[in-house]
Amino acid sequence: MKKHGNLCAKAKYEATVPSYYYIPQSCDCLVLREQWIRAKYEREEFVATRVCQDPCSAGTREGFLWKRGRESRQFQKRRFLLSAGEGVMKYYTKESRGPKAIISIKNLNAMFQTAKIQHAHGLQITYDTDGQTRNLFVYHESGKEIVDWFNAIRAARYHYLRTTFPTVPEPELIPRITRNYVKEGYMEKTGPKQKESFKVRWFCLDSQERNLMYFKNPLDAFAQGQVFIGTMDEGYEVRAGLPQGVQVKKRKPAITVVTPVREFVFICENDREQKEWIDALNGVIAQSLRG
């Protein structure tokens, strides 16, 4: 570093980083940051002498991951198969049977969720099935293996996007390879009449799909429901406080999400959470429908 400086080191050790490869930020989980450093300096995966892997071949992977059971809620070893060429990801419960699920890469997403899964290598995989978002929670004891799976999924997604939308500029495609939720956490919600008792639910805001999903438990396979978040021009708005005429016993900060169909009322734990949810929801409302 003293002799060549940071720019020279970057030019050498990041010479062939693929477009689909996720370069972690300081806010990302430890396993992503550690494996990025090891990949660069220890394994020298991106030096100029290495050939940049084709995303189709890089998006093909087979191996075992520990997956949380939908009913048992226990993690069990499952075989996963990813094929960018076929455009699918599969997983198997038993070797003698066919795949438990065949997941289209078109609807596939992955994000690290180490705190929620309570494992340093915890990965959440989501996909669409019959109009619902299905959650898979997996991990691997090897940090390298789970990060390799994550980037293989990104390679498969990049191959799909590049093939499906060949005229879209790459800077527009990269953010759509995989995404994190813009906000997650507990809130309390009431029913459509706004007179039902408030129940604690785990909420996830997906800015790309413009959905606010809520779950009974953070690690549930399916959401109990979801609220589509459109644009202001379509009649969507988020307000601090309760709708006129609605009263609650709890003296906690509230949020009202106005849609063309009805108003949704949520209660937050504190003022900070209220502000973060309002800012996150307003961010989605301000997006164009294409964004």
Q: Give the type of residue at 252.
A: K
Q: Read off the amino acid at residue 35.
A: Q
Helix (H) / strand (E) containing 128? strand 123-129
What percentage of the chain has pLDDT greater than the value 90?
A: 80
pLDDT digits (tens, 9 = 90+) for 48-90: 887 778 999 999 999 999 999 988 889 999 999 999 999 999 9
Q: At what angle do helices 143-164 and 30-37 cross, to 10 degrees?
A: 90
Q: Is 6 helix (H, G, I), strand (E, B) or coil?
A: helix
190-227: pLDDT as tens digits: 887 777 888 999 999 999 999 999 999 999 999 999 99
Please, which residues bridge with residue 255 across strands? 240, 266
The angle subtended at Cα 106 by Cα 50 and Cα 233, nearest 5°, is 120
Structure tokens at 229: 């978040």
Domains of the chain from N-terminus onward: 1-178 (2.30.29.30), 183-286 (2.30.29.30)
Q: Is 80 exposed, middle or buried (0-12, 13-18, 19+ CB in 10 A)?
A: buried
Q: Of 52, 89, 92, which Cα lies nearest the Cα of 76?
A: 92
Q: Which residue has the higher pLDDT, 35 or 289?
A: 35
Cα distance between residue 230 and residue 286, in whole Å: 9
Residue 171 identity: P
